[in-house]
C-alpha cells in the first residue's frame, strides 16, 4: 500500500471541493477489542471482514465426539447444535465489536459495515460448502485423513439480517439506520472486467477457484497440508464450472449504517 500513498495524497491535495486533511494510518490488533482512544473517531467503515469470527466455536471441538463431522462449515446436514454454536459465537464477537467501536466513536458518530451474510435462515450456498464436499470425496480416495476433516471448522459465520439486528439492539450502543442485503456473483470482479461479454464457464470456474484459494488456502493448509492444495482447487474449479451452468452462484451481502445511541 505504501507505494500508492504519494499519488493518493497528491490527488487529495489537488481537490478543490473542500475535502479536509486526510491521514492514513495502520493500527495493529484485532477489531474484536479496543483499537483507538475513547471518543476519538467520527466515522467507521468496515468492508468484507466481520464474517470472520474471533475463533471457531469451542463447543464444536471440546467434546470427545466431533459435532460437525465431515464439514468445514455449517451445511444443510449440520445438526441444530452446530447452527447454535456458530450463532452464539457470532453474537459474542459482534457484540464485543460494537461495544469496542462505540467507546471509540464520538457522540453523533456513524458506522457503516458491509460483510457476507445469508438471506434465509437455512440458505447455505457458499463456496465453503463445495470445498467441504470435495474434501469428503478426497477422504474416500485416501488423500485426506477423516479425523482432520471431522475436527476442523472454519472460524467464519454468515448471519441473516434478523440475527444482525438482534445483536445491535441487544448490545444497545447503536441506533440502526439502514440494514439491507445485496447479491454479488461469485465472479463479480471478473464480470466487471469483461464488461458484459459472455464468458466460458471453465474460465469462470477457474477465476472463482483462484479467488477462493487466495483467501482460504493459508488456513486450510495448516489443517490438511500443502500437498493436497493443487488437487483440491483444481477439483473445485471443475465443480464450479459445472454448477455455474445451472444456477446463479451469488453471495448474499449485508450492508448497514448505525449511529452512536
Question: Which residues make up the interface to ligand SAM (CB under 6 A)?
Answer: 30-32, 47-49, 52, 54
* Residue closer to ligand SAM (CB basis): 32 or 251: 32
**Block residue for cell numbers 440494514:** 179
Q: Could you give the strand order of the β-sheet that contains 41-47, starting from the edge strand earlier in sequence?
A: 41-47, 105-117, 250-260, 174-185
Nearest CA among 65, 64, 63, 68 for reference residue 84 = 68
Taking the complex as a whole, the smallest distance from the CB of residue 10 to ligand SAM amounts, in Å, to 22
* Residue closer to ligand SAM (CB basis): 107 or 214: 214
Burial classification of residue 236, based on how many CB atoms lie within 10 Å of its CB (0-12 exposed, 13-18 middle, 19 or more buried): buried
Taking the complex as a whole, the smallest distance from the CB of residue 49 to ligand SAM amounts, in Å, to 3
Taking the complex as a whole, the smallest distance from the CB of residue 45 to ligand SAM amounts, in Å, to 9
Nearest CA among 257, 169, 244, 141 for reference residue 201 = 244
* Residue closer to ligand SAM (CB basis): 192 or 227: 192
* Residue closer to ligand SAM (CB basis): 63 or 218: 218
Taking the complex as a whole, the smallest distance from the CB of residue 115 to ligand SAM amounts, in Å, to 9
**Is 139:145 a contact under the CB 8 Å cutoff?**
yes
* Residue closer to ligand SAM (CB basis): 22 or 261: 22
Taking the complex as a whole, the smallest distance from the CB of residue 26 to ligand SAM amounts, in Å, to 11
Amino acid at each position: 500500500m505504501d507505494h500508492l500513498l504519494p499519488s493518493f495524497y497528491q490527488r487529495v491535495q489537488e481537490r478543490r471541493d473542500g475535502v479536509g486533511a486526510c491521514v492514513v494510518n495502520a493500527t495493529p490488533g484485532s477489531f474484536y477489542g479496543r483499537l483507538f482512544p475513547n471518543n476519538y473517531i467520527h466515522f467507521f467503515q468496515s468492508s468484507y471482514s466481520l464474517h470472520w469470527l474471533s475463533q471457531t466455536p469451542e463447543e464444536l471441538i471440546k467434546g470427545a465426539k466431533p459435532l460437525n463431522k465431515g464439514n468445514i462449515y455449517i451445511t444443510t446436514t449440520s445438526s441444530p447444535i452446530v447452527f447454535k454454536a456458530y450463532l452464539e459465537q457470532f453474537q459474542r464477537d459482534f457484540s464485543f465489536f460494537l461495544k469496542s467501536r462505540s467507546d471509540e466513536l464520538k457522540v453523533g458518530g456513524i458506522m457503516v459495515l458491509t460483510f457476507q451474510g445469508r438471506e434465509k435462515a437455512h440458505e447455505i450456498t457458499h463456496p465453503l460448502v463445495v470445498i467441504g464436499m470435495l474434501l469428503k470425496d478426497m477422504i474416500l480416495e485416501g488423500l485426506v485423513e477423516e479425523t482432520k476433516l471431522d475436527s476442523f471448522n472454519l472460524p467464519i459465520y454468515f448471519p441473516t439480517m434478523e440475527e444482525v439486528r438482534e445483536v445491535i439492539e441487544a448490545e444497545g450502543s447503536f441506533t440502526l439506520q439502514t440494514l439491507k442485503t445485496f447479491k454479488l456473483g461469485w465472479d463479480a470482479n471478473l464480470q466487471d472486467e469483461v464488461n458484459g461479454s459472455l464468458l466460458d464457464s471453465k474460465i469462470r470456474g477457474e477465476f472463482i477457484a483462484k479467488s477462493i484459494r487466495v483467501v482460504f488456502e493459508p488456513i486450510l493448509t495448516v489443517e490438511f497440508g500443502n500437498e493436497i492444495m493443487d488437487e483440491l482447487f483444481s477439483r473445485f474449479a471443475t465443480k464450479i464450472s459445472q454448477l455455474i451452468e445451472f444456477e446463479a452462484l451469488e453471495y448474499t451481502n449485508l450492508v448497514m449504517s448505525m449511529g452512536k445511541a
